[in-house]
Structure 1
Amino acid sequence: MEALWVYVSEQSQSMSTSAWTLLMLGVLLSLSIVVDTISRRTALPRISLLVLVGVAFALIQQGLLGGNAEPLNGLREPLINLALVMVAFLLGGELTLSRLKSTGPLIFALSAAVVIGSLAMVFTGLWLLDYSFAVALSLAAISVATDPAAVSEAIQESGKKSLAARVTLGIVAIDDAWGIIVFGLSMALLSWLGATSGGASLVHALWELGGALLLGTALGFPAAWLTGQLKPGRPTQAEALALMLLIAGLSSYLNVSALLAAMVAGFVIVNVSSHHTRSFSEIEQIEWPFLVFFFVLAGASLNLAYLSTALGLVAAYIVLRSIGRYLGGYLGVLAMRRREPRLNTDIGLALLPQAGVAMGMALLAAERFPQQGQLIVATVVTSTIIFELFGPLLVKRVMADTGKNDTY
């Protein structure tokens, strides 16, 4: 037995980096199956459980082993970027012209009110609490994003088909699009303010946004044409994955916003191609394994050295974002009261869940501003777990408060 233990130890020490990476990929996907089972039996959100798996890795790695190595070595950044590109692409696919016309001024006005409420409340509050401009603006931009999956699942479980349910689903369909745009503008502004050469930085900021629009359009139109020429199945799947890799790679190479480029490409395809559902359905089929890696890596990005420092910021962020969402929804409903008197003023509380896009923004902000990055990541990862645990409960409460005769 002792000889066997010595042999195993020697083999583990001599394990190559590629073998270790492949092993970790298999372990993480296996854990996702366990997490899915636990989620179904306990009603706990899968996303929060996956993030907790990453946090557990960080605790073991940093607390017990005393190191700070990444679980997937050099694959961390490309996997995160690819997962975010997929999410943004699918979000762009939700923005059909017919849907934008049908939602009308009601959903647009309420979503804008909630976005402005979150942005203003979080930024002003953190700024008054003496946090740096970069931290306050980054977290304010991140606060705009919502978790569409958690909100829609909670509404489905509530069984409500009211106006409030329809409006809430309409808001979350475009909420992350607002978040991506606001986050891109915020990062460009911070880059411009932090640069020594204002003119060159302004050009870079404009290119980061404008270049993303150009890249998304340039890739979206050929992809829309190609989608109609390919038969459903493996060719379409290869085309969809190739598009995601091209967006992620070219965005990084050209230094433009990958999230915005992917969203624009999705918007172009869904509104130009008559067979647009093929590409989006193929991405949905292969998206989950990448999201598993993304959420675990997001949790593993938590630096325990910053956790105690971030607790005050976490509490402030949760309170300010909650107040901002509530006030934004309250004022938005009041402004639209004459048009639609059936909406409850607490609809903003149904928009608290926050997950993938928010954590992706935090990781991107950490790469852009490493001095403040760990504090931002610690704040968003911790608050995301709380929002994902309690947010769906508030969604159900808001839906339950809706009148029984409030159908739409």
Structure 2
Amino acid sequence: MELPLDPAQYGMVLVIMGGLLSISILADVIAARTAVPRISLLVLVGVVVAAIQQWGLGQPAGPLTTLAEPLIQLALVMVAFLLGGEFTWDRLRTLGPVVGIFSLTVVLASGTAVGLGLWLLGFPVILAVALAAISVATDPAAVSETIHELRAGNTRVGRLLLSTVAVDDGWGIIVFGLAMAFLGWHASGDGLQALLEALWELGGAVALGVIVGIPAAWLTGRLEAGEPTLVEALALILLLAGGAALLNVSELLSAMIAGAIVANLASHHTRSFNEIDYLKWPFLVFFFVLAGASLDLNMLGSALGITGAYILLRILGRYLGGLLGARAVAGRQGALPSGIGMALTPQAGVAMGMALLAGERFPEFSATLMAVVVGSTVFFEATGPWLVRRTLRNNAMTDNNKE
């Protein structure tokens, strides 16, 4: 059996992987000493790679194809699996109906504002619906780190925001799966066939998550912590990523279902989640850099209008969602600041992952989707923490005035 690459090629691949991980250490140092988020730095590294590849070497746009797809898929499956682990019965009971109502209101308002707004502005339905689904994802790390930095985790608004970002990306994965199924049906000339494919993509993802999740819940964590547990965690991720690719189902949804099943049924341990959490950062480094490297720099000018529209509509959707959500839970939660939705604007990995998956599904729109999401992610990662601080400080001033 022949190797797919000659020694010079795979040697260069290994050097590039080592170089990217080394750059991530430098990005961590810069992020620790400045206000620039490390995710933005890694994406910008990818953009530099794209510039060298496209303008310096004259190669076509696109990520380093030898590296990109498997690493991106594994990173996304890890993130989705860990998200599923947040959906335990005990956690959901603790969060209560207030968080469910508030977060769902924000998700629906945000997605509706972006999707309807882009469609009314004349952009294609596929772009409008895909970006609407992508817009509902939030970067929980940026929100939670800012809240803890201000020591606002025990405040009423701080607790609600922390609980909301814990489940927000879960809603996002479900909305994205439904949106991709709808677009598959919309883009197909055969309505019945497209409907069956859409049902398979969602139902098959649930089935794969159950088929992998139930045995994993019973089998994993039976050995001592350490190397065996690491092997168990890797086996789970590879089975989910490979199974989703072979069956052509949603890898995000199947991984989230499996994570939720393991979290709820494997009461004897949580070590698989811990091992995956330790493993995920190197894969996320590759993911963010390769996402930036996927950018078609020649599309930046033509995508400027839709990027600006997406940013403004997402901000509007977050604001309206927070306003409506605050009113919906006012009877149980009490008065909340009208601008609370603005604290949910940070956007990062899950959104870029969704853009990459949507681009694979609809390659004619891939360049535009990546230009919009990469540009908006850098914007929201830079401005999002400031909006979180502003919301919390305004709430603190309001509470003090009431006293």
- Do they fold alike, i.e. is TM over 0.5? yes
Gaps of 5+ in 1: 1-13
Structure 1 residues 21 and 71 mapped into 2: Cα distance closer, same or farther (>3 Å)?
farther
Q: From 369, 377, 402, give the equivalent of 2:370.
A: 377
Q: From 91, 95, 102, give the equivalent of 1:103.
A: 95
Aligned residue identity for 1:264: I
Q: Does residue 1:139 correspond to 2:136, yes or no?
A: no
Other-structure match for 1:159: 151
Give TM-score, length-normalised by structure 1. 0.94
Other-structure match for 1:5: none
In the alignment, the residues of structure 2 paired with residue 400 and residue 131 of structure 1 have an alpha-carbon distance, to the nearest angstrom, of 38
Q: Over residues 74-103 of structure 1, what are the superposed CA-to-partner deviations in whole Å (9 max), with x where a residue is unaligned? A: 221111000000000000011111111121
Structure 1 residues 310 and 405 mapped into 2: Cα distance closer, same or farther (>3 Å)?
closer
Other-structure match for 2:31: 39
Other-structure match for 1:129: 121
Other-structure match for 2:142: 150
SS of corresponding position for 1:309? coil
SS of corresponding position for 1:167? helix
Q: Does residue 1:212 correspond to 2:210, yes or no?
A: no
Q: Does residue 1:244 correspond to 2:237, yes or no?
A: yes
Aligned partners of 1:330 and 1:345 also within 8 Å: yes
Aligned residue identity for 2:115: F
Q: Over residues 143-180 of structure 1, what are the superposed CA-to-partner deviations in whole Å (9 max), with x where a residue is unaligned? A: 00000111111111111121111100111111101110
Other-structure match for 1:203: 196
Q: How does 1:20-31 map onto structure 2 within 5 Å?
A: 20-31=12-23
SS of corresponding position for 2:145? helix
Aligned residue identity for 2:138: T
Aligned residue identity for 1:100: L
1:276 CA displacement: 3.6
Q: Does residue 1:52 correspond to 2:52, yes or no?
A: no
Q: From 42, 52, 63, give the equivalent of 2:55.
A: 63
Aligned partners of 1:111 and 1:175 also within 8 Å: yes
In the alignment, the residues of structure 1 paired with residue 220 and residue 114 of structure 2 have an alpha-carbon distance, to the nearest angstrom, of 42
1:47 CA displacement: 0.5
In the alignment, the residues of structure 2 paired with residue 293 and residue 361 of structure 1 have an alpha-carbon distance, to the nearest angstrom, of 16
Other-structure match for 1:337: 330
Q: Over residues 299-318 of structure 1, what are the superposed CA-to-partner deviations in whole Å (9 max), with x where a residue is unaligned? A: 00000121111101110000
Q: Does residue 1:193 correspond to 2:186, yes or no?
A: yes
Other-structure match for 1:400: 393
Q: Over residues 275-330 of structure 1, what are the superposed CA-to-partner deviations in whole Å (9 max), with x where a residue is unaligned? A: 34100000011110000000000000000121111101110000000000010110
Q: Over residues 348-378 of structure 1, what are the superposed CA-to-partner deviations in whole Å (9 max), with x where a residue is unaligned? A: 0010000000000000010000111110111
Q: From 73, 81, 88, give the equivalent of 2:73.
A: 81
SS of corresponding position for 1:201? helix
Q: From 266, 277, 285, give the equivalent of 1:292.
A: 285
Aligned residue identity for 1:22: L
In the alignment, the residues of structure 2 paired with residue 331 and residue 120 of structure 1 have an alpha-carbon distance, to the nearest angstrom, of 13
Other-structure match for 2:3: none
Q: Over residues 19-42 of structure 1, what are the superposed CA-to-partner deviations in whole Å (9 max), with x where a residue is unaligned? A: 110010010000000000000000
1:62 CA displacement: 1.2
1:404 CA displacement: 6.7
Q: From 302, 306, 310, give the equivalent of 2:295.
A: 302
Aligned partners of 2:50 and 2:63 also within 8 Å: no
In the alignment, the residues of structure 2 paired with residue 330 and residue 276 of structure 1 have an alpha-carbon distance, to the nearest angstrom, of 40
Aligned residue identity for 1:96: T
Aligned partners of 1:21 and 1:72 also within 8 Å: no
In the alignment, the residues of structure 2 paired with residue 402 and residue 277 of structure 1 have an alpha-carbon distance, to the nearest angstrom, of 36
Q: Over residues 115-138 of structure 1, what are the superposed CA-to-partner deviations in whole Å (9 max), with x where a residue is unaligned? A: 011111001110011000000000
Aligned residue identity for 1:124: L
1:199 CA displacement: 1.0
Identity of aligned residues (%): 57
In the alignment, the residues of structure 2 paired with residue 73 and residue 340 of structure 1 have an alpha-carbon distance, to the nearest angstrom, of 49
Other-structure match for 1:17: 9
Give TM-score, length-normalised by structure 2. 0.95
Structure 1 residues 362 and 232 mapped into 2: Cα distance closer, same or farther (>3 Å)?
same
Count, aligned residues: 394
Aligned residue identity for 2:281: W
Q: How does 1:218-297 map onto structure 2 within 5 Å?
A: 218-297=211-290
Other-structure match for 1:10: none
In the alignment, the residues of structure 2 paired with residue 86 and residue 71 of structure 1 have an alpha-carbon distance, to the nearest angstrom, of 20
Aligned partners of 1:227 and 1:275 also within 8 Å: no
Aligned-residue CA RMSD in angstroms?
1.5
Q: Over residues 163-217 of structure 1, what are the superposed CA-to-partner deviations in whole Å (9 max), with x where a residue is unaligned? A: 1111001111111011100001110111111112211111110010001111101
Aligned residue identity for 1:82: L
1:342 CA displacement: 3.7
In the alignment, the residues of structure 2 paired with residue 71 and residue 177 of structure 1 have an alpha-carbon distance, to the nearest angstrom, of 27
In the alignment, the residues of structure 1 paired with residue 121 and residue 74 of structure 2 have an alpha-carbon distance, to the nearest angstrom, of 35
> 220-229 or 301-310, which moves further after superposition?
220-229
In the alignment, the residues of structure 1 paired with residue 335 and residue 368 of structure 2 have an alpha-carbon distance, to the nearest angstrom, of 42
In the alignment, the residues of structure 2 paired with residue 182 and residue 70 of structure 1 have an alpha-carbon distance, to the nearest angstrom, of 27
Gaps of 5+ in 2: 1-5
